[in-house]
Amino acid sequence: MHTMNFERPLRIGMVCYPTYGGSGVLATELGKALALQGHSVHFISNTQPARLDVFLENLYFHEVSMVHYPLFEYSPYVLALTGKMVEVAREQQLDLFHVHYAIPHATAAHLAKEILASQGQQIRVVTTLHGTDITLVGKDPNYAPVVSFAIQKSDVVTAVSEYLRGETLRYFDCRKEVMVVPNFVDLLRFKPFARAGLRERFCPAGHRLLVHVSNFRRVKRIDRVLEWYRAIASFIPATLLMVGDGPELPKAEQTIKEWGMQSKVHFVGRQDPVEELCSVADLMLLPSETESFGLAALEAMACGVPVMASQAGGLTELIQDGVNGFLVSDEEQARGVQRAVDLLNNTEILDQFRRAALHRASQYNITQIMPHYEGLYAGALGRGIREIS
């Protein structure tokens, strides 16, 4: 493993959404890995991130408190976040903020940086773009100028895929270099293993077990997950495991009731550790409208599970069609289903796909990706470093 030899451990303010979405997961896992290297990582958010264990050494959580005033119809979260960032930076003498998502975190970081500079404290800002801050929210004319400004004012900007980098340069007046640092997976945690009896709890003998993991937003196309499953199950005995929660969940549950398939589709809500559920599956279904990277797919692949996904966004960079999964275009839904059925019917080929998924995931090991962030931190700080083995 390569790491960076700093004069002293860094003090980092990590700002992210605390949800199970990809950006929050990546920020949390990165923070934990940095803490293991000896850096002090201070998470700043409105609630504790889902995967954050504050009992680990060098990890801290600072809650953004919202105060409600009658004057405001909506509480100004950006201002509350900025205030907390300034407070933590002062008290902990932070070297830099690493903010995940341009809106509102990069904007708050710039405000905090300016306030701190006026008081004689210099701090750097690293912004990681994750997806909808660019491809959805950022395109809104009401937000686009703010996103452009936040990107330009950041000291370092990264994107989690070539696709997202291209979208950023396409839609924004971006004169800042955008560097690609892909998402990663902890292979010590996400790996093939089977807890005794777990698969049998959901899946009858002789059934193939399919899985979907997401935050059940519209962009995840939950209706298509169910359509893919029903089509596959019309050819072979199959069970579906739906992991997660979100706005599309009630509609999905109602659809399954209308189809009379309650005994074959299990909604298990948010689960952590999710890797235990992924490990017992045969195929992940991920028909998202777009994915900036596809962290859920990577985590499934690290568990030895091939992925059937939309031919969209960063998924095309991760999934090798016909090797460790399938990429399905909107025009070839029936063909995609048939390819999945053929795979699930052939144990030998399925095992080949499993091995290929594991190999692909190994290329995104956190121990290989994290030093890239350390290098970017060093560059932002202008600090002399040398690479060591």
Q: Tell me the per-residue pLDDT of 107-161, one tens digit each, with 9 for 90 and over.
A: 999 999 999 999 999 999 999 998 866 766 556 777 788 888 888 899 999 999 9
Look over the chain and give the mean of its residue pLDDT values, rounded to a whole number: 90
Average pLDDT over residues 52-72: 82
Answer whether CATH 3.40.220.10 is correct for domain 198-362: no
Numbered ranges of CATH 3.40.50.2000 in the chain: 3-184+365-388, 198-362
- Quick one: fold of 3-184+365-388? Rossmann fold (3.40.50)
For residue range 233-271, what is the model confidence (pLDDT) as tens digits?
999 999 999 999 999 999 999 999 999 999 999 999 988
Q: Could you tell me if 88 and 63 are in contact, meaning their C-beta atoms sit under 8 angstroms apart?
A: no
Predicted TM-score (pTM) above 0.95: no
